[in-house]
Amino acid sequence: MELPDDEQSFLRDLVKISRQKIHLVKWADRDGSDRQTMLTQAEVVRLNTIAAKLKISKTEALRQAAHIPVAK
């Protein structure tokens, strides 16, 4: 395939992600609307670690994270 390195890397990453098992986490946003976030195995492990440190559930961690201001 004749593409620049950055585009080949992007396509490789897409294939890699599509082969991973996806985890859906359902949670309620700060406005009360229901959300579903798709996470890779690595992301769900990290989310579980953060939630365990805070002694809260994954869904609560995401709800609280919705209140974190976006960096400018």
Q: What is the pLDDT along the chain (72 residues), one digit of tens a residue?
A: 788 899 999 999 889 878 888 899 999 998 999 999 999 888 999 999 999 999 999 999 999 999 998 888
Q: Which two tokens stand for residue 16?
A: 């890699």
Domain boundaries defined on the chain: 19-65
Calculate the CA dihedral of residues 37, 42, 44, 48 and round it to 10 degrees. -150
DSSP 3-state assignment of 42? helix
Please give the Cα distance from 9 to 37 (Å, whole number).
24
Nearest Cα residue to 60 out of 68, 51, 69, 52: 51
What's the distance, Cα to Cα, between the start and end of the chain in Å? 37
